[in-house]
């Protein structure tokens, strides 16, 4: 590439970079500044330069428990999502049916509906007299159960949001893996499971990593699903941020919680990339 | 920016109008309202009714264009606080709860009203008035119960603690303040001391109380008979009865606490004359009557002329009216943050 071409490429990058700086970086800087302010009840935000909001987060067991719940939910949902999405993605990558595009469409279709609307659908299904309890009572003859406003409802809700992303990410990587490698292992006496474990899975690691990271980040920042399906007693980080800012008007603490969420997500994502990425290399 | 320009034009026009009036020997007692008024309000039905019964029929003929700025009241309060040092704010009117307007007035964000500019104020019930707000609608806190499950009508908040209804009582997350207050009233507390309510609520928690995020979620739970009893505003109870939810309304003997939804003028309102015209319009008998019909709230004026059948359903008896419980705003402003903290960290945990 000549120097001039490089310069043109740099210039072409400029507008997009400016947009990113203006609409992402600057608000973040502002939010960071707010997180150092002080909240006085009834007076909104008082100008200060203090770390007390961060100290409050790390020293109060309640907020730490919210972070722990968020991490456990995100980690659990990510593993479950990968376990469920992998076979679907493998099937989609390997199938030779002429309806493949229809099948892919079926995976993408849920993304046409917003998260909140999807959660509202689950609310109808999980309600006291919803479809699930109706099935339990009328069809299976059991007693109704409480699903709404439980962590189970949130797991199902987030899983349904994240699955299409995981399937599509995995499927695109699996498509690129030469099937001959797996066939060679089988021809040398490996069982199909051993061939999958020793050949396909290691080759698909970049895809698993990408799908996992995507899933984890989406779950860490889930807002509508925990609010609508988890109910008032189930606390996760994104709803906590919204509550501090919109309900309690405590912008400094809300901003500090945002930064804790961003930092924890970034650190864990980078750590996963480093450890798994190195192993895959 | 076009708003500023039109405002400037409006001010010029207003000045010219006043001058003309004076020249004609008809100097008005106050400047006629015109131009644009920005009303910060809740969305949904409340907004639609304001548009249909206040903005369109009462403000448009005066050449006042009403612009609604919809958000939750916390967002509105934040905006008022953030803008209070500016000479011109983005909102003329702020719809708030009584505690919200008190807090904003204390912080110097609201105008002290000139009653002479709101002629309809003379019809407003005395106990609902403050010098910084005009009460728009009000209701009282009651107990809603499902008569097919709760055979004896409740008479006290204490009936929610009846072991026979354990697990069948619901409370609403966003109503933490009034829920703690109700519990305090039956445990030695009062309108200026909510502390005893906390201990009482923990008993209810042990009994398996259900916590719902919103009023709508509570309505659904009552409809499906997931819960049989809750604390609620009477107006909501009437709306839910109209929607076919199987509930009856009972007045607690501890007294009926008032919920007042009011409106105030921002201290830095850009168009104060139009804002005063708006304040007068919301007290007009016609919108007051229509809000009662549509939402089941009580009119704040005495000349609303609500149909007798509806009046029978929404009004409280004279005995109850004499013993209305009014919130201690001074106390709430100081303790609200800690009440919310306790609710989230202890009661809901």
| CATH number of the domain where residue A62 is located | 1.10.3720.10
Q: Exposure pattern of B134-164 as b/e (b: 16+ CB <10 Å)?
A: bbbbbbbbbbbbbeeebeeebebbbbbbbee
Locate the DSSP E strands across chain A: 38-39, 45-46
3-state secondary structure B139-188: EEEEEEECCCCCCCCCCCHHHHHCHHHCCCEEEEHHHHHHHHHHHHHCCC
For chain B, state the CA radius of gyration: 22
Interface test with B, best of A37, A38, A44, A224 (most B CBs within 10 A): A44
| Torsion sign (Cα): B270, B273, B279, B284 | negative
A42–B349 C-beta distance less than 8 A: no
Any idea what the Cα angle at residue B51 is, between residues B112 and B76, rounded to 5°?
A: 45
Q: What is the pLDDT of residue B22?
A: 41
B169-172 and B258-265 strand pairing: unpaired
**How many CB atoms sit inside 10 A of residue B271's CB?**
25
* pLDDT tens digits, A69-103: 999 999 999 999 999 999 999 999 999 899 999 99
Mean pLDDT of chain B: 89
Cβ pair B265, B111 in contact under 8 A: yes
Q: How close A239 comes to chain B (CA, Å)? A: 12
Residue A104 inside a domain? The answer is yes
Q: What is the ipTM of this complex?
A: 0.75
Q: From B227, which residue of chain A is nearest by alpha-carbon distance?
A: A128
Give the residue from chain A lying closest to B342, CA to CA: A62
**A140 Cβ partners below 8 Å, 6+ apart?**
none
If 0-12 CB within 10 Å is exposed, 13-18 middle and 19+ buried, where does residue A68 land?
Answer: exposed
Q: Domain B2-138+259-318: what homologous superfamily? A: Periplasmic binding protein-like II (3.40.190.10)
Tell if the CB–CB gap between A249 and B78 is shorter than 8 Å. yes
For tokens 């719902």, what's the residue? B212
Proportion of chain B above pLDDT 90, given as a percent: 78
Exposure of B315 in the CB half-sphere (CA atoms within 13 A) = 18
Question: Contact A232/B211, CB-based, under 8 Å?
Answer: yes
For residue A251, the chain B residues in CB contact (below 8 A) are 78
CATH tag for B139-258+321-347 (out of 3.40.190.10, 3.30.1330.80, 3.30.70.20, 3.10.20.30):
3.40.190.10
pLDDT band at A279 (very low <50, low <70, confident <90, very high): low
Residue boundaries of the structural domains of chain B: 2-138+259-318, 139-258+321-347
CB contact under 8 A, A62 and B340: no
> Do A129 and B82 make contact, defined as CB atoms within 8 angstroms?
no
Tokens of B246: 């199987």
pLDDT of residue B5: 42
* Chain B from 198 to 257: CB within 8 A of any A CB: 211-213, 217, 220-221, 224-226
Per-residue pLDDT at B235 exceeds 90: yes
What is the pTM assigned to this prediction? 0.82
Its domain, for residue A266, covers 47-280
Tally of domains in chain A:
1
A26 within domain boundaries = no
In this complex, the residue of B72, B217, B225 whose CB is nearest that of residue A246 is B72
């Amino acid at each position: 590439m000549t120097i001039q071409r490089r310069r043109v490429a740099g210039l072409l990058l400029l507008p997009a970079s400016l947009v990113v700086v203006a609409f992402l970086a600057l608000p973040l800087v502002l939010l960071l500044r707010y997180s150092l302010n002080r909240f006085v009840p009834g007076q909104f935000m008082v100008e200060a330069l203090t770390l007390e909001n961060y100290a409050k987060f790390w020293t109060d067991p309640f907020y730490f428990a919210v972070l722990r719940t968020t991490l456990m939910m995100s980690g659990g949902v990510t593993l479950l999502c990968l376990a469920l999405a992998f076979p679907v993605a493998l099937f989609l990558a390997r199938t030779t049916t002429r309806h493949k595009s229809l099948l892919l469409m079926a995976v993408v279709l849920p993304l046409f509906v917003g998260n909140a609307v999807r959660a509202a659908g689950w609310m109808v299904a999980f309600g006291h007299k919803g479809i699930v309890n109706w099935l339990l009572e009328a069809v299976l003859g059991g007693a109704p159960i409480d699903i709404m406003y439980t962590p189970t409802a949130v797991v199902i809700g987030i899983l349904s949001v994240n699955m299409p992303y995981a399937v599509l990410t995995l499927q695109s990587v699996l498509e690129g893996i030469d099937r001959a490698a797996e066939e060679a292992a089988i021809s040398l006496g490996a069982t199909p499971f051993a061939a999958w474990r020793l050949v396909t899975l290691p080759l698909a690691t970049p895809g698993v990593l990408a799908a996992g990271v995507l899933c984890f980040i989406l779950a860490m920042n889930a807002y509508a699903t925990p609010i609508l399906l988890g109910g008032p007693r189930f606390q996760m980080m994104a709803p906590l941020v919204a509550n501090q800012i919109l309900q309690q008007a405590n912008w400094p603490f809300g901003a500090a919680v945002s930064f804790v969420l961003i930092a924890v997500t970034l650190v864990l994502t980078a750590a996963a990339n480093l450890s798994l990425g190195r192993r895959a290399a | 920016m076009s708003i500023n320009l039109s405002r400037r034009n409006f001010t010029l026009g207003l000045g010219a109008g006043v001058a003309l009036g004076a020249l004609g020997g008809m100097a008005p007692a106050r400047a006629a309202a015109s131009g644009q008024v920005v009303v910060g309000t809740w969305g949904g039905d409340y907004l639609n009714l304001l548009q249909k019964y206040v903005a369109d029929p009462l403000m448009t003929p005066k050449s006042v264009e009403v612009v609604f700025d919809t958000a939750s009241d916390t967002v509105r309060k934040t905006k008022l606080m953030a803008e209070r040092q500016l000479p011109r704010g983005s909102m003329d009117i702020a719809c708030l709860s009584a505690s919200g307007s008190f807090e904003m007035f204390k912080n110097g964000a609201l105008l002290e009203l000139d009653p002479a500019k709101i002629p309809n104020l003379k019809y407003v019930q005395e106990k609902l008035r403050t010098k910084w707000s005009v009460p728009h609608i009000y209701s009282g806190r009651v107990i809603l119960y499902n008569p097919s499950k709760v055979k004896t009508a409740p008479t006290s908040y204490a009936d929610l603690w009846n072991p026979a209804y354990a697990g069948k009582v619901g409370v609403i997350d966003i109503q933490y303040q009034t829920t703690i207050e109700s519990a305090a009233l039956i445990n030695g507390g009062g309108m200026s001391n909510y502390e005893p309510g906390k201990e009482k609520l923990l008993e209810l928690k042990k009994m398996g109380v259900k916590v719902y995020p919103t009023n709508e979620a509570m309505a659904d739970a009552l409809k499906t008979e997931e819960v049989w009893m809750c604390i609620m505003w009477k107006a909501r109870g009437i709306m839910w009865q109209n929607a076919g939810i199987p509930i009856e309304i009972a007045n607690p003997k501890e007294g009926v606490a008032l919920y007042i939804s009011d409106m105030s003028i921002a201290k830095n309102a850009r168009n104060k004359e139009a804002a005063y015209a708006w304040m007068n319009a919301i007290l007009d008998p016609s919108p007051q009557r229509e809000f009662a019909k549509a939402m089941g709230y009580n009119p704040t004026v005495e000349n609303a002329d609500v149909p007798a059948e509806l009046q029978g359903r929404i009004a409280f008896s004279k005995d109850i009216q004499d013993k209305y419980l009014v919130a201690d705003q001074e106390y709430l402003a100081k303790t609200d943050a800690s009440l919310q903290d306790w609710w989230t960290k202890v009661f809901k945990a």
